[in-house]
Amino acid sequence: MALGAEDRLMPRNGSDIYQTIPSNLELTKGQQHLACLRLSPKGLMRWYASCCDTPVFNTLGGTKLAFIGVSVPAMQGDAIDRAIGKVIAVVHTKDAPFGTEPLKDYGFNKAGFGVLARHFSALMRGQVKENPLFEDGAPVVEPRVLSKVERKAATP
C-alpha cells in the first residue's frame, strides 16, 4: 500500500467506505494535514492525513459528480453506526489477499444506483459543486501522483 496503512484495514484486509455527497462533509479540524495521492494522473483521488498517513476520503478528480467515499474508521461521533446504516454492498473481494476468508460480492448495482440518486438529488438542490476538498473546481491540495514504479509496488 502506498501509504503504509495496512494496519488500518479491516480483519479481512478490506476497507469500509461510506458513500455520500461532498456537501454532507464537514471538516472540523486538521485541515493543515490534508494530503492527496492518485495512483495515476486521472485516477481516483485518495485523501489522507499527512501527519499519520491515515486514509480518510476518496473522490473523483473534480466536482462534476457529487460523490465522496468516507473511510468509516476515520469517522467520529456518537451515532456513526446509526447514521451510516447497514452495509448494502461488498465489492472487489477477488482483490483480497490469499489466506483471508472469502466474501461474495453483492450490491454493486444498488450502490451504483445510490451514487446516481444522491447526485441527482444534489443537482436539484444546487449542491453538486459544494465540496470542502475542492475550491473553484480544483483540489485544495496538489495531489501526488504515484510513478509507475511506486504504483507497481503498492498493488498486489
Rounded CA separation 48/13 (Å) = 18
Q: How far apart are the first and last CA of the chain?
A: 9
48 in a domain, yes or no? yes
Write out the residue range of the structural domain in which residue 22 sits: 6-149
Residuewise pLDDT in 10s, the chain (156 residues):
444 545 544 555 567 888 999 999 988 889 999 999 998 999 999 999 999 998 999 999 999 999 999 988 777 777 677 777 787 888 877 766 666 666 788 888 999 999 999 999 999 999 999 999 999 989 999 999 999 898 888 776
Q: What distance in Å separates the CA atoms of residue 68 and residue 114, rounded to the nearest whole number?
A: 12
Looking at the domain assignment, is residue 61 inside a domain? Answer: yes
Helices (H), the chain: 80-84, 108-124, 148-154
> Pairing relation of β-strands 45-49 and 138-139?
unpaired
The whole-number pLDDT of residue 100 equals 64
Per-residue pLDDT, 24? 92
Q: Evaluate whether 40 touches 151 at the Cβ level (below 8 Å).
A: yes
Q: Give pLDDT, residue 96.
A: 67
Report residue 144 as a C-alpha cell: 501526488
Strand partners for 13? none
From the list 89, 116, 115, the residue with the least C-alpha distance to 103 is 89
User: What is the number of structural domains in the chain?
Assistant: 1
Q: Is 63 exposed, middle or buried (0-12, 13-18, 19+ CB in 10 A)?
A: buried
